[in-house]
Amino acid sequence: MPESDKSFDKEGLGNILLVAVSLCLVCAIVVSTAAVLLKPQQKLNQELDQKQNILRAAGMLPEDSNVDPQGRSIDELFGQFTVRAVDLRTGRFTDEVDPASYDPIKAAKDPARSMELSDTQDIATIGRRENVSLVYLKESEGGVDKLVIPVRGYGLWGTLYGYLAIEGDLSTVAGLGFYSQKETPGLGGEVDNPAWKAQWHGVSLFDQSGKPAVRLVKSRSPEGSMAAGYEVDALSGATLTTRGVQNLVQFWTGDLGFGLFLENLKSTT
């Protein structure tokens, strides 16, 4: 080795450590800069995704397109909705939270902003229910045109999160869609099958006494009968997911969900 290279031993421990630490530092800077720079875009994408899910549940956006048949974009279509906060304890609108930044699912984890459900109350197996939730209202001169509510409940493998869209009569389903679920593809995962989802359109939510009445059934009641109006086909080979979906729809349209709010809204429109 020439005399000049003796002082610089590139395979020495100190040098190896220096290179490793420098590389880690550079990578850490690159990753954190990317994370910070991409955060606003990620937030925008999340919001767009949420708008898309709400519009799909409401039947205003086809399953396979980002524009409606008239060519209107997600933002344009979602602009027809007003987002309002609702106090689920009173069934009334509230200004207690800012709907633009409020997260009902986060609130449900906070004992100060949610209630613990007893076993008999907790038919959707969610543990706690937030005090305040959000609704998405599409209004026209004649009153409510469509109302979309967030819903969630346990299936077989995890919680299904979605939106239930209700027609202006506040009693008939416009559509149901899940944006997050862990059920098995081909079994419980069929909750995402467009053909199964299409059956929800027109289903009656409440019986004559106003109680949640939706049933997921293996064999349908005779066509034209009152019972048939509440029915959707069960998912074959997925009894547990089916039960979960029935329970979550019944929970969120019941007194502990949006039931009081729906009653109040009916009486004011």
For ligand FMN (CB under 6 A), the number of binding residues is 11
**Cβ within 8 Å of residue 180, ≥6 positions away:** 159, 160, 161, 162
**HSE-up (13 A, CA, CB side) for residue 251:** 24
Q: Tell me which DSSP letter residue 210 carries.
A: S
Contact 233, 183 (CB under 8 A): no
Q: How far is the CB of 230 from ligand FMN (least distance, A)?
A: 20
Alpha helices in 136-238, H assignment, sequence order: 194-198
Of the candidate spans 16-24, 68-76, 94-102, 180-188, the one that interacts with ligand FMN by CB under 6 A turns out to be 180-188
Confirm or reject binding of residue 248 to ligand FMN (CB under 6 A). Answer: no
Stretch (H or E) spanning 129:
strand 128-130
Selected binder of ligand FMN within 59, 150, 175, 188 (CB under 6 A) = 188
Contact 175, 62 (CB under 8 A): no
Confirm or reject binding of residue 217 to ligand FMN (CB under 6 A). Answer: no
Here's the x/- map for ligand FMN, 100-139, by CB under 6 A: it reads as ----------------------------------------
Q: How far is the CB of 158 from ligand FMN (least distance, A)?
A: 10
Selected binder of ligand FMN within 50, 80, 240, 266 (CB under 6 A) = 240
**256: which 2 tokens?**
């502990």
* Closer of 114 and 241 to ligand FMN (Cβ): 241
Residues in touch with ligand FMN (CB under 6 A): 156, 183-184, 187-188, 236-241
